[in-house]
Structure formats: structure tokens, C-alpha cells
Chain A
Amino acid sequence: MWGFVLRRLVWMVPTLIVISIISFIIIQLPPGDYLSSYIARLEALGTTVDQATIDALRLRYGLNDPIWVQYFKWLGNIVFDGNFGYSFEWRLPVSQLIIERLPTTFLVATCSLLFAWSVALPIGIFSAVKQYSLGDYFFTILGFLGLGIPNFMLALTFLYISNRYFGLSIGGLFSPQYLNAPWSLDKFIDLLSHLWIPVVIVGTAGTAGLIRITRANVLDELRKPYVETARSKGLHPMLLILKYPVRIALNPFVSSMGFILPGMISGEVIVSIVLNLPTTGPLLYAALLSQDTYLAGAFVLMLAVLTVIGVLISDILLAWLDPRIRLS
């Protein structure tokens, strides 16, 4: 077991290095750099920036260095100083910006995940057990609707309807009056009344995949001889399904858990932009647009690293559950 964990940990090093390189390339790929975007904005505001100023600024921010020098400087600061750099746009340290918005992001992502599972599991099990029944079709269509509707369209429509017809305040996670208020039951209820919209939208987009996995796995398990045996022994069908096939069918959830984060974050970006949520999504999007190199780079790197760790954990869990994996 420890050998397996050690092997995986050693493998993580080259993976992380490649990830940091790709992160940096992603940020550098679009033509121009933060300065051109900064100057574009200044010019849009009516300020004239002459070439000499541009050159001087470029020198100050080290944007004239060859790209690999910029990369090593960036990585060096992160590894040795824990310094993720400075956001050009916000004029604040990157780490501070990200940390401020992480809790809400995890809140939305976790709730969405829970929502997706709580919808997908029953539907998946039901449609496996009652394959090709009317109920199977009905619930599957319902579960897949969320996948079919483009997230941004759903978000704007939800926003519009909840405001126009139910009088909810628009966007954000709190109504204005609760923003600065200490935590209370009312504030919590207010949070829930705002949170459900992004959670449902992000969550429904993920349910289809989960329904499919559950359904396929339960179907596979139902075909196995031990089910026949249990059935012949007179175990109650419902109890039987919940006790064996479903439990085993849950295994793939563990293995897919690691990769759920990037998917949820991507879904969350679009929804959060529309819903005006104080999460990392809009920050990442804006940073990418304005080529705020260090902010965007730190984001992409951080998400990728978290995913790698997530995959590692799920692999270790699986190996612990299933000895065949760790021996292979």
C-alpha cells in the first residue's frame, strides 16, 4: 500500500511541472500581454500613452524577459516564497484575491455536487431497475434537461423570472440588507434563497453524467450471479438493490470525484458571471480577458493542482478499497 502511495507521489512531481508549464503557456498564448490590455483600457478612458512609457512599464514588470525567464521567476517565487505574484489589475497580491473568493466557490461547488448526486442517484437506480419503463423515460428526460439547456441561458432566465415574478433581489449570494449583518437564521434563509439558483443550474448540468454512470453500473451489477442468489434466497428486492448492487455501483463515484472539480469550476464560471456571484469564476474570467498574467496563472495552476491532489486521493481510496488496483 505504501509503495503504491509513494509511487503515485513520485509521479506527481513531473505531472506538476508539466502542469505549471502548461498553465504558463495558456496565459501567454494570446498575443500581447497585460500591458497592451492595460494601455487599451487607458486609451479607452481617454489617456494617451506614449511608446516611451510603454517601454518603461514593460521593463518594470519584466515583460521584456524571455518567456522562460518569466516562467522561472514566476515558479521560483511560488515554490520558494509562496508568493503567487501581484495582480496588475487589482493591484493586490494574488493569494489574497483568491483566498477571499475560495469559500464561496467551494460552497457553490459542493452544494451543486450534493444536489447533482441527490438527483442523479435515485433516478439512476430507478431507471436501471425499471429499465425502459415509462418512469425510466420520464425521469431520464427530466435529469437530462439540465444538461441540454445551455447554462448561461438557464441562468439568465432563472434570474429574470425570480426577480420579475418572485421579487428576489438579483444576483449575488445575499440580499443587500444581510450583506453586513452577522449570521442569523434569517441570513441563512436569505443565503439559501439565493444559493439554490446557481446550485440547481450548475448541478443539473452534471446530473446527466451521474445518472448515466449509476444506471450503467447498477445494470451491470444486476446481471451478476450473486444477485440471482440473493433473490432466490428471498431477500426483499428493494433491500437487495440497496444493499449490494448500489453499494458496488458507487465505486466509480470515488474514481470520478477527482475530476469533478474542473468541470464544476468551468460550469460555475459561466453561471457566476451571469448571476454576479462573488466566486472565483468571474475573477478568473476577467483575469484571462485582461491578461492579468499572475492572477490567471495562479488560478489555473491552483485548480489543476487541486485536481491532481483530488485524483491522487481518489486513487488511494480506490486502491485501499480494491487490492487488485494497488498490485497492478
Chain B
Amino acid sequence: MSVTAKPLPIGGGSVRGAPVESPLTLMWYKFRAHRLAVASIWVIAALYLTAIFANWIAPFDPESRTGLPFSPPSWPTVMVDGEFVWPPVAFGVSQQLDRKTFKRVYAIDTSKRYPVQLFIAGDRHSWFGLFPTDMHLFGVDKGGAFFLMGTDSLGRDVFSRMVYGSRISLSIGLVGVAISLVLGVILGGISGYFGGWVDLAVQRLIEIIQCFPSIPLWMALAAALPHDWTTIQVYFGITVILSLVGWTDLARVVRGRFLSLREEDFVMAARLAGASEARIIGKHLLPSFMSHIIASVTLSIPSMILAETALSFLGIGLTPPALSWGVLLQDAQNVNTLATAPWLLLPGALVIVTVLAFNFLGDGLRDAADPFSRESFK
């Protein structure tokens, strides 16, 4: 996560001897007041670290089948027969199909114990093709029932799949927003800065795009993706689709800020002092502007994450073998899952946490965005 919200020394220090706080420092002071937002930073950081180091964190390969389909979550325990054990142990497990109910019946074999180990050898993996290894951060030896979030219909570990799936789900928001941002800043900036007929034309364009419900737009664009694209290409295609539909909000924000800042006294002052346009934009407009952009960007990320899951649900987004939270949730979208394997919905909980975290972070940033309102310094 790039938004660490630490005080950065942009335009900081003292000017002509008077102590002046930079806009970002001011922002940080205000931001701290929003405790949920501060907590969200930690949550988001943890999520992204997990995504980056997914291959070490996941105890299993996301595609490896354990031969134990629809196993409920089974956690290691520290209490065995009333005795405390350390490290926690997982038990052996066996599975049988009950031909009458068509359910998999799981029997725990407490005589077989598998202690949880750190840095344990397991499925082979590599970090984006680098550092091939079979070392996992934690896990148990083969045979132990160590499925933190159960297994899916093909017997794959849901937790591991979720961890790997976060790579696509968390990055699709960033990449999509980045594209939206470029479009939004360029078009919104042009529109706001030049005004006149350019502004009018861009405004009409935004209005027109916003007039369309997003689902037909998504469906048409998704159907137009070449069918022989690889999973990765489809992923980028979908990201671009989401941002093509989603850039308008950012453009409006950018334009709005440009318009209002243009009229601010300090800009007028700078202009009267003979500052060049470039200096006005770079030195005065951008800093006071960035905070708002960052807040808006943060608030658009969760909608991208949600859109990805919605696309998967509609059958026009990513599909297996691609792994994303949307793909995992699509697999869970059936009555059979709700009734017999509700743990497959757990990726949904992760979506909720992520979306909330981004929203609170965005709210905190937005509250803090205007460095000159001092009300909430109390």
C-alpha cells in the first residue's frame, strides 16, 4: 500500500524563518483523529502483505487437491484429552461418502497428531517465478487436517485459495483506479483548467457515460474481449473495462477542485507575485489538490473490488483457473453451499473487511483533505 500517510516533507520546513507545516503534515494531524481510518491502514497493510507474500503464507498450493472435498474448517487445537499441548496439533482425518444423504462424512482420528510447525516443507511454489522453494510459513505435515477455512468441492484448501486470490482482487482495484486516475486527471484537469467549450464537451461526455447503467456497458465490453486471451490478458481487459466505465467520478472531482482552487486567494496572490503557470500548478495547486485526489482514489478502490465480484457473478468476469475473490464467491453462489458448506462464503467476509477498510481510510483522508479547516483539531 502506497498510502502510508506518514508526514512527507513536501514543501515542508520553514519558509523565511516562520514555522510552516506542509499540507501533508497538516493532513496527517487531522487524519489521526479518525481512529477507524488509522486502524484501517493496518488492516489494508496486512492484506497487501498477505497478497505479496501469498506463496509463503498459504499452507497449500491453491490448485492442489487434498482428496478431501467439502471438509469443514478444521483448526489445530491446544487441548487434547483435557491436556494442554504446544505447539497446537491437527489430527488425522478420513472421509467417506454417505450414499443415502450424499454427504461426505468426516471422521477425526485423534490418535494421529500433526503439530503445527513454522517454516515447514510442503507444496513447491515460487514468488512470481522467482525463489522457487517448498518452504511455507506455517502448516502441518501431509495427512493432518489443517484447513483453516475448510476445503471446496474439489478438495482444495479455501484459505490458501483466498490468500492467492487476494493478489488479483487487491491489485485489480489499484490498477483499475490508476487507469481511471490517469483518465480522470487528464480529462478532468483539461476540463477544469481550460474551461469554455473544452469543459463543456468533457462535461457532456461524462454526463453521457454516467447516464448508462454499468451492467450493459460491462457486458458489451466483456463480450468484445478476444476469446483466445489468456487469463492474465482477460484480467487486464476487465480492469480496463472497469476503469473505462469508472473514470468519470474522478474526473468530476478533479475538475471541481481545479475550478474552486483557481479562484482561491492564494492562487491569485501567487499570480500577482508573478509566479508562472507551471509554478502555480506544481507548487500551489497540486499539493492542496493531491489530498483530495488521494481520498477519492481510496474511495474508488472498493467499488472496483466489488465490481470484480459482480462481474464474476454475472459470468462475464474472471473465471477459473484465474483465482480471485470473485471467482471463489461465484463457486460459493449456490444453495448447496449455503446449506452444506457455508465456509465457502468466507471469501465474502474478506471482501467486506477490505471494502470497509478502504472506505474508512478514504473517509479519514477526505476529512483530513482540507488542511485549512481547523474545526476537528480539538
Contact = CB atoms under 8 A, between A and B. Distances in A.
Interface string B346-369: 001001111110011001001100
B335 interface: yes
A137 interface: yes
A38 B51 CA distance: 43
A307 B356 contact: no
A262 to B, nearest CB: 4
Nearest to B363: A212
A296 B216 CA distance: 9
Interface in A93-116: none
Interface in A257-297: 259, 262-263, 265-266, 269-270, 284-285, 288-289, 296
A49 B353 CA distance: 51
B306 to A, nearest CB: 6
A150 B359 contact: no
Interface string A304-317: 11011001000000
Contacts of A31: 223-224
Contact of B214 (A29, A157, A266, A305): A266
B210 A148 contact: no
B212 A137 contact: no
Given A137-B36, A152-B313, A153-B345, A30 B220 contact: yes
Given A137-B36, A147-B302, A29 B210 contact: no
A151 interface: yes
Nearest to B352: A148
B82 to A, nearest CB: 36
A26 B220 contact: yes
B213 A15 contact: no
A266 B207 contact: no
B contact face: mostly helix, strand, loop, or mixed: helix
A131 interface: yes
A contact face: mostly helix, strand, loop, or mixed: helix
B130 to A, nearest CB: 33
A222 B375 CA distance: 9
A197 interface: no
A152 B360 CA distance: 23
Nearest to A215: B363
A262 B213 contact: yes
A253 B35 CA distance: 28
B33 A132 contact: yes
Contacts of B309: 150, 152-153
Nearest to B218: A266
A15 B348 contact: no
B208 A19 contact: yes
B323 to A, nearest CB: 17
A149 B313 contact: no
Contact of B213 (A19, A27, A160, A300): A300
Interface string A18-49: 11001101110111000000000000000000
Interface stretch (A53-61, A81-89, A138-146): A138-146
A150 B204 contact: no
A315 to B, nearest CB: 10
B221 interface: yes
Contacts of A29: 220-221, 223-224
Interface in A117-158: 131-132, 137, 140-141, 144-145, 147-153, 156-157
A69 B306 CA distance: 39
Nearest to B376: A131
B314 A15 contact: no
Contacts of A304: 208, 211-212
Interface string A162-178: 00100000000000000
Contact of B208 (A22, A140, A299, A300): A22
B212 to A, nearest CB: 5
B212 A262 contact: yes
A311 B363 CA distance: 27
Contacts of B359: 144, 147-148, 208
A303 interface: yes
Interface string B123-155: 000000000000000000000000000000000
B216 A132 contact: no
A30 B224 contact: yes
B216 A152 contact: no
Contacts of A236: none
A4 to B, nearest CB: 14
A308 B215 CA distance: 18
Contact of A285 (B215, B352, B353): B215
A288 B210 contact: no
A27 B36 contact: no
B373 interface: yes
B223 A30 contact: yes
Contacts of A160: 335, 338-339
A23 B220 CA distance: 10
Nearest to B306: A150
Nearest to A132: B33
B104 interface: no
B58 to A, nearest CB: 23
B34 interface: yes
A19 B205 CA distance: 10
A27 B215 contact: no
B219 interface: yes
B217 interface: yes
B212 A22 contact: yes
User: Which 10 residue pairs spanning A and B have beta carbons closest together?
Assistant: A30-B223, A148-B355, A148-B352, A307-B211, A29-B220, A26-B220, A304-B211, A262-B213, A266-B213, A152-B313
5 contacts: A152-B333, A160-B338, A208-B359, A304-B211, A305-B211
Interface of A: 11, 14-15, 18-19, 22-23, 25-27, 29-31, 131-132, 137, 140-141, 144-145, 147-153, 156-157, 160, 164, 208, 212, 216, 219, 222-223, 259, 262-263, 265-266, 269-270, 284-285, 288-289, 296, 299-300, 303-305, 307-308, 311
Given A26-B212, A144-B356, A147-B359, 13 more contacts: A26-B217, A31-B223, A148-B352, A149-B352, A150-B351, A153-B329, A153-B332, A157-B345, A216-B366, A266-B215, A288-B219, A300-B212, A305-B211
